């Protein structure tokens, strides 16, 4: 957190004018000062946060047991998203110590809207620079410079075919489906959170996800290897996290209206949005059983002849035989026949 707060501090050129070296640069090279103010702080924050997936995966692999790699990716998605929300989106509101801020909120929970409204509106310009930088990060990731470098290196040692296999897959810590999903959800939550304080961020968010659509579509279908099927849990988790971001938006706007409105009416009206939002969030969790199929639904589908059958396809063979099994094993067949005979007699 101190590192992130330091990056937030140097985001503004005005804060660097106290240092004589930076003051001379600001006076004599305004283009460099503008570049610093626009990109360097956001780039440093993005670089700092890009190291987090590697550290989290190190913890997960050392301390937790997973059934498959996809479970580790899902765990990374959940924890990485909350880390990003705290250390990127709420960094200005939390301050230099998350423990002190947490203790303050535990003593005075109702002070959360005022805490957000006091610090977050002043950082809207920072996030206006943060979103375009994410577009550049997606384009850079789409160039696959890491895979190209590994391919050229291994090609000089082993040849083209083996070099291609050794160069894949991409880094699953930072470019895996878990961290990608977490970063995309953070960007959407950031746009939602500041869409009223700075409407321009909505346009930047639309441009950002247009770039995401193009880069990921090309990467998934043309160059990257196929990933194990997760059954949709990454998508559902993104929906949950986006709805949780709506709570943050309502909390922030309630605090802003409480500070800037002439009376308590607008703030109370904004805070009343928690009721339908909470009802919708709980209804989403209860209503959509995406992991299980109800028996009643299966019965209704079987009884209704007009409905198309789900997952009904023409079989390509009468049975399945493991390729490793021998073609004819008389001993196994004799044992199986004997067991069937005994079961029939019983």
Distance, CA of 265 to CA of 271 (rounded, Å): 10
Give the 3-state secondary structure of residue 113.
helix
* pLDDT value of residue 222: 81
Please count the other Cβ atoms lying within 10 Å of the Cβ belonging to residue 343: 8
* pLDDT value of residue 194: 92
pLDDT at residue 48 is higher than 90: no
Give the confidence band of 258 by pLDDT, cuts at 50, 70, 90.
confident
323: DSSP letter: T
Give, in order, the Cα–Cα distances in Å from 287 to each of 101, 281, 282. Answer: 36, 10, 8
| Helix 52-63 and helix 69-84, axial crossing angle in degrees, nearest 10 | 130
Tokens 């850079």 identify what position? 140
**DSSP per residue, 193-254:** HHTTT-THHHHHHHHHHHHHHHHHHHIIIIISPPPPP-TTHHHHHHHHHHHHHHHHHHHHHH
Tokens 């990716």 identify what position? 73
Distance, CA of 87 to CA of 82 (rounded, Å): 8
The pLDDT of 49-55, averaged and rounded, is 84
Please count the other Cβ atoms lying within 10 Å of the Cβ belonging to residue 253: 22
pLDDT at residue 125 is higher than 90: no
Distance, CA of 244 to CA of 221 (rounded, Å): 31
> Is the Cβ–Cβ distance between 7 and 31 less than 8 Å?
no
Per residue in 69-85, pLDDT (tens digit) is 888 899 999 999 998 89
Please count the other Cβ atoms lying within 10 Å of the Cβ belonging to residue 241: 21
* pLDDT value of residue 75: 92
Cβ neighbours for 141, distance < 8 A, ≥ 6 positions apart: 175, 215, 219
* pLDDT: which is higher, 289 or 263: 263
> Is the Cβ–Cβ distance between 174 and 54 less than 8 Å?
yes
* pLDDT value of residue 96: 53
Distance, CA of 183 to CA of 28 (rounded, Å): 38
* pLDDT value of residue 191: 94
Highest mean pLDDT (candidates 132-146, 157-171, 206-220, 330-344):
206-220
Distance, CA of 80 to CA of 237 (rounded, Å): 12
Cα Rg of the chain (Å, integer): 27
Indicate the average pLDDT of the chain. 80
* pLDDT value of residue 8: 62
* pLDDT value of residue 244: 93
Give the confidence band of 264 by pLDDT, cuts at 50, 70, 90.
confident
pTM of the model: 0.73
Per residue in 221-248, pLDDT (tens digit) is 888 877 777 778 899 999 999 999 999 9
pLDDT at residue 216 is higher than 80: yes
* pLDDT value of residue 13: 62
* pLDDT value of residue 136: 85
Distance, CA of 281 to CA of 294 (rounded, Å): 21
Cα 337 to its chain centre, rounded Å, is 55
């Amino acid at each position: 957190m101190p590192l992130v707060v330091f990056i937030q501090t140097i985001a503004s050129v005005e804060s660097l004018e106290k240092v004589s070296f930076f003051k001379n640069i600001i006076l004599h090279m305004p283009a460099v000062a503008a570049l610093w103010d626009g990109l360097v702080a956001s780039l440093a924050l993005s670089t700092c946060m890009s190291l987090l997936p590697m550290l989290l995966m190190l913890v997960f692999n050392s301390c937790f047991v997973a059934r498959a790699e996809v479970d580790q990716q899902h765990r990374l998605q959940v924890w990485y998203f909350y880390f990003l929300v705290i250390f990127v989106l709420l960094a200005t509101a939390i301050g230099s110590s998350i423990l002190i801020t947490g203790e303050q909120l535990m003593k005075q929970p109702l002070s959360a809207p005022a805490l957000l409204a006091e610090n977050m509106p002043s950082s809207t310009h920072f996030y206006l620079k943060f979103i375009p930088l994410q577009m550049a990060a997606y384009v850079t990731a789409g160039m696959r410079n890491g895979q190209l470098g590994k391919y050229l290196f291994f090609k000089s040692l082993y040849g083209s075919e083996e070099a291609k296999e050794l160069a894949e897959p991409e880094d699953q810590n930072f470019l895996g489906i878990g961290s990608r999903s977490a970063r995309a959800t953070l960007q959407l939550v950031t746009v939602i959170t500041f869409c009223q304080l700075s409407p321009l961020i909505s346009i930047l968010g639309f441009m950002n996800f247009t770039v995401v659509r193009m880069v990921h579509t090309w990467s998934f279908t043309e160059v990257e290897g196929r990933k194990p099927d997760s059954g949709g849990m990454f998508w559902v988790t993104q929906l949950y996290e986006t709805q949780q971001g709506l709570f943050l938006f309502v909390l922030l706007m309630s605090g802003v209206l409480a500070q800037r409105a002439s009376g308590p009416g607008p703030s109370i009206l904004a805070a009343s949005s928690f009721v339908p939002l909470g009802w919708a969030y709980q209804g989403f969790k209860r209503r959509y059983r995406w992991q299980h199929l109800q028996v009643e639904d299966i019965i209704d589908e079987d009884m209704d002849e007009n409905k198309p059958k789900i997952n009904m396809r023409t079989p390509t063979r009468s049975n399945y035989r493991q390729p490793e099994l021998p073609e004819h094993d008389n001993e196994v067949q004799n044992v199986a026949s004997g067991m069937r005979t005994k079961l029939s007699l019983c």
